[in-house]
Amino acid sequence: MNWTDSLDIAIALDEAHPDINPLTIGFVDLMEMVMALEEFEDDAEKTGEKILEAIQMNWIEERE
């Protein structure tokens, strides 16, 4: 997965962290959680606030 795969990342985060509320995650923590995913293969320098926000929004939608 890469940073642009926001829905796939959100699904993987939801599966890996069912106990975490995505509404309470800050972007620094979110970035670290994404990079820790086994399937994730992109560089930290290729992300930004808009990408992290898209991931977080998809994760919130996955929970609903």
In a domain, 39, yes or no: yes
pLDDT (0 to 100) of residue 35: 97
**pTM for this one?**
0.94
pLDDT (0 to 100) of residue 64: 86
CATH number of the domain to which 22 belongs? 1.10.10.600
For residues 64 and 60, what is the distance between their CA atoms, to the nearest angstrom? Answer: 7
In whole angstroms, how far apart are CA 48 and each of 18, 19, 30, 45, 54? 24, 25, 11, 8, 10
Residue 60 near residue 22, CB atoms below 8 Å: yes
Q: Going residue by residue through the chain (64 aa), what tens digit of pLDDT does each one get? A: 999 999 999 999 999 999 999 999 999 999 999 999 999 999 999 999 999 999 999 999 998 8
Domain count, the chain: 1
How many Cβ atoms are within 10 Å of 12's Cβ, its own excluded? 20
Helices 6-16 + 27-36 axis angle, to 10: 80
In a domain, 11, yes or no: yes
In a domain, 1, yes or no: no
The domain of 12 spans 6-63
